Amino acid sequence: MQRRGGIPDSVLMYASVFTYNKQLRLDVLNTNINWDQVASYEQNGFINKGAGQNLSAFIGFNEKQQREFLGNKQKAEELFCTLFSIIEKIKGQKELTTYALCLINGIIEDKRTRIRNLVAIQKSKNEEKQKDLIGILNSFIIQNSEKENIQRDLAAHTLSMLIEAVEYENCRDEARQFLNYMLQQRDDKERKVSDTCYTTCLMYLLKANELAREFVDQRGFEIMQKFLQNQAITDGQIAYNVICALWIISYHHFALKGFEDFTLMIIELVSKILNYFNKEKIVRVICMLFDNLKDSTVCLEHLSMINALNIIIKLQNRPWVDKDIENRLQKLFVFFDSNYKEFSSFDKWRRQVQQRQLCWSPVHTEKFW
């Protein structure tokens, strides 16, 4: 029996990948699930008895009915186990695997607290219910050789959220393995996930102090620099993801060396994002980053050299719906106004020489020489 898989008003449609891959949304909506084949997977023990019928029923529900179904902890966890069994055990069924990955991600993105269902399965002391979901996703991503990055995007996004929710001490080996998998893809030509997925995953992973330190120690700032110079000036979501990740690690003293490095120019590159995007969420997170960095003497020099005070004044002259942005701008204005130091082009060049971090920058124009 053939049956059309998705319907427009289902939680499936909240999958993160659909925000930047419109064609996939149409493809998944037109997925035909062969339920006779699913029944054979039950008979062969790949999925539990009755799992196919329950999955078919869930897909046939409208959005309201699906949410009511997912409100039942036992039913939700059984559904997740079925979907993860498909990812783990059913090989060579690209459409079904993609559908399962989309549905998992859509369910969680529709309501983030549903990640607790995955945590409960991961941590369960009941052998019948316990399933190493992190291990399943990690293995799937590493072994996946699909030319397109769609499946890896979906798996990686869910995995990064799950690692954050389970907490580092409960999955340290798998968490480090996944971060190293990401760090090995330093160049966009080597990348096995999309830039949007890559930067989104970093936002979740870097919330763990241990992973943040490893990221910094393995020259993670160089990855951020490349993003700020390239993809972040053409894609607002990537710009937000990168700056948010930088803000997260800016709370750590061990990360200051990356922000203080004149050759990387992280602070200057972040400020230049405002030339391309002025969305409130981007402005807010830049303010939050600058607020964290302003107490470092070297970072404050950077901020003075890019004339952060003038940047703040220009932003204050714009109308903001979010009053929190106005408050943050005012706080930064007061601080920068009290600690303002004007640098001429020559002063900036001299500071670079003194720091032994001489680099070419926009101040070194013909007029300067």
Averaged in consecutive runs of 10 residues, what is the pLDDT profile of the chain (369 residues)? 49 92 86 88 88 92 95 96 94 90 96 96 89 96 93 97 97 96 87 95 98 97 97 97 98 96 93 95 98 93 88 95 95 87 50 54 46
Angle at 196 between CA 278 and CA 156, to 5 degrees: 145
As a whole number of angstroms, the distance between CA 77 and CA 60 comes to: 18
Reduced to 3 states (helix: H, G, I; strand: E, B; else coil), residue 33 is strand
- The pTM assigned to this predicted structure is 0.89
Q: What is the model's pLDDT at position 367?
A: 44
pLDDT at 350: 57
The two tokens of residue 29 are 């909506």
pLDDT at 213: 98
Q: How many CB atoms lie within 10 A of CB 249?
A: 26
Distance CA 266, CA 245 (A): 12
